[in-house]
Amino acid sequence: MLIQIDWYKDTGKWYSGGRVEIDPLPWEDGIREAILENQRELVKGWEKRCHYYVVVSDIPESEADPNYRMTYSRLYKPADFLNLEKEKRKIICKG
């Protein structure tokens, strides 16, 4: 399944964006890990820099499909990606 990911700097300015292929999964379980593993827009380690807000949304093609049942739009703060089990280091981030 394709979703749209947009990264914004902590100033509110758009930084980068693209479509990311993820396996169908419950939105709350594993979406952040899927973004980290499958995105190709930013270099690895972007999540440790504490200054990217991530906006996830459906793509228009999915919304136009009558069989599509997921609707999703979500904002993740920089600290949301630091709390993943994948990262064992402690990094303190304001925000």
pLDDT per residue as tens digits for the range 12-32: 999 999 998 877 655 566 788
Residue 16 vs residue 1, higher pLDDT: 16
CA distances to 2, 39, 60 from 66, rounded to whole Å, are 16, 27, 12
In a domain, 91, yes or no: no
Its domain, for residue 42, covers: 2-82
Residues 6+ apart with CB under 8 A from 58: 3, 4, 68, 70, 71, 72, 73
Domain count within the chain: 1
In a domain, 90, yes or no: no
In a domain, 93, yes or no: no
What pLDDT score does 3 carry?
86
In a domain, 15, yes or no: yes
In a domain, 18, yes or no: yes
Q: What is the pTM of this model?
A: 0.77
